[in-house]
């Protein structure tokens, strides 16, 4: 079934047969990952951004957002919390904030590696080849860089001044540097239709990625897209299921964007093939300010409660919270 043609993909996206789709996706995830769900702790260390993406609450034109930047010590406090809770992957994420330069991030990677036996994932946006290479050398193993849409016109509209080809070029660099590479798309962007989404799924599969993330578009009141409807949750779950079937070996998260629209949507995402959840370890005092979309990080519990809550979701869905580092099986089998 993982060799689906475009017509079949589009039919499943339209809701032709959700039962078969979700059942097949779950079967594939069980074959590759068993019942394990990997927990990756994410530290969102800066909400500053030089870009102006239309769909994002961190865009530079949003003057209402109170901005923050964590110090090295504050980031390391979050890392310690991960260690205390047996989390084996730390995701370091920020807006496109160049004030955290090559040396700072390199030092941060070194410090984390000195203190804990963890895998480090970076999600720092578009940087130079030299920076990616330096951080890889320092010990970062994974990099997330979402494409959001492969539709060139839509991409240009949604990310003013940016080019799809530059983003794709960076994914190639990251592969060349032997990172585990992740990307992903938004479901329900204004201007996206089922043909465009079908094409996104095909292009993602062609990229042969280690990680693929997807979540519904959620309009932010301080962006030009404030009046557009949010992406469809059921369609987002179908996208997860299709991603699983078409990319059996990729790690696929049940994202927080799903949870922002529907309380049990992450559980549904797990049942449709997702095998990763990423709780926020960002300090409570700034967590709500990482406001990419409304509802993001809203639970705002302390870290231990957040992790226990996430474990509860996993168990309720019938799976097992795993403290494995969760390396990409694609590299072993694909």
Interface residues with ligand SF4 (CB under 6 A) are 49, 51, 53, 56, 58-59, 95-96, 125
CA 188 to chain centre: 16
In terms of phi and psi (left: phi > 0; alpha: psi -120 to 50; beta: otherwise), the region of 245 is alpha
The 3-class SS string of 56-97 reads CCCCCCCCCCCCCECCHHHHHHHHHHHHHCCCCEEEEEECCC
Helix (H) or strand (E) holding 45: strand 41-46
Least Cβ distance, residue 295 to ligand SF4 (angstroms) = 16
In terms of phi and psi (left: phi > 0; alpha: psi -120 to 50; beta: otherwise), the region of 161 is left
* Choice between 97 and 267, CB closer to ligand SF4: 97
* Choice between 49 and 270, CB closer to ligand SF4: 49
Least Cβ distance, residue 98 to ligand SF4 (angstroms) = 12
Least Cβ distance, residue 57 to ligand SF4 (angstroms) = 7
Q: Which residue has the tokens 């557009």?
A: 228
Q: Which residue has the tokens 């109170």?
A: 66
| Sheet with strand 89-94: strands edge to edge | 41-46, 89-94, 119-123, 142-144, 180-187, 211-216
Least Cβ distance, residue 49 to ligand SF4 (angstroms) = 3
- Cβ atoms of 54 and 37 within 8 Å: the answer is no
* Choice between 161 and 227, CB closer to ligand SF4: 161
* Choice between 199 and 291, CB closer to ligand SF4: 291
* Choice between 22 and 290, CB closer to ligand SF4: 290
* Choice between 184 and 273, CB closer to ligand SF4: 184
* Choice between 8 and 222, CB closer to ligand SF4: 222
- Cβ atoms of 61 and 52 within 8 Å: the answer is yes
* Choice between 270 and 286, CB closer to ligand SF4: 286
Nearest to 38 by CA among 303, 294, 250, 332: 250
Least Cβ distance, residue 147 to ligand SF4 (angstroms) = 11
Least Cβ distance, residue 211 to ligand SF4 (angstroms) = 17
What span, in angstroms and rounded, lies between the C-alpha atoms of 246 and 244? Answer: 6
Nearest to 325 by CA among 138, 62, 149, 82: 82
Least Cβ distance, residue 60 to ligand SF4 (angstroms) = 7
Least Cβ distance, residue 42 to ligand SF4 (angstroms) = 14
What span, in angstroms and rounded, lies between the C-alpha atoms of 110 and 223? Answer: 37
Strand partners, 119: 89
């Amino acid at each position: 079934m993982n060799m689906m043609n475009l017509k079949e993909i589009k039919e499943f996206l339209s809701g032709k047969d959700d039962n078969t789709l979700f059942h097949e996706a779950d079967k594939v995830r069980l074959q590759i990952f068993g019942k394990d769900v990997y927990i990756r702790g994410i530290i969102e260390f800066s909400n500053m951004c030089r870009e102006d993406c239309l769909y994002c609450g961190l865009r530079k034109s949003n003057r209402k957002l109170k901005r923050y930047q964590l110090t090295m010590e504050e980031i390391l406090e979050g890392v310690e919390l991960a260690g205390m809770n047996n989390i084996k992957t730390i995701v370091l994420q920020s807006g496109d904030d160049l004030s955290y330069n090559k040396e700072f991030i390199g030092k941060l990677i070194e410090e984390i590696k000195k203190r804990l036996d963890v895998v480090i994932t970076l999600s720092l946006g578009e940087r130079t080849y030299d920076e990616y290479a330096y951080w890889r050398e320092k010990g970062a193993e994974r990099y997330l860089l979402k494409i959001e849409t492969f539709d060139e016109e839509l991409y240009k509209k949604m990310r003013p001044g940016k080019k799809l080809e530059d983003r794709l070029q960076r994914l190639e660099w990251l592969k060349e540097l032997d990172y585990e590479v992740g990307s992903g798309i938004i479901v329900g962007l204004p201007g996206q239709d089922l043909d465009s989404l079908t094409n996104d799924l095909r292009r993602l599969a062609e990229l042969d990625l280690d990680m693929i993330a997807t979540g519904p578009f959620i309009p932010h009141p301080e962006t030009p897209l404030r009046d557009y409807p949010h992406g469809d949750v059921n369609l987002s779950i179908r996208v997860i299921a299709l991603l699983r079937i078409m990319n059996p070996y990729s790690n696929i998260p049940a994202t927080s964007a799903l949870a922002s629209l529907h309380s049990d949507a992450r559980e549904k995402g797990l049942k449709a093939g997702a095998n990763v959840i990423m709780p926020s370890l960002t300090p409570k005092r700034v967590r709500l300010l990482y406001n990419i979309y409304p509802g993001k990080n809203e639970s705002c519990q302390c870290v231990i409660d957040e992790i226990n809550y996430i474990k509860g979701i996993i168990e309720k869905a019938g799976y097992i919270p795993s403290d494995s580092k969760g390396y990409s099986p694609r590299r072993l089998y694909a």
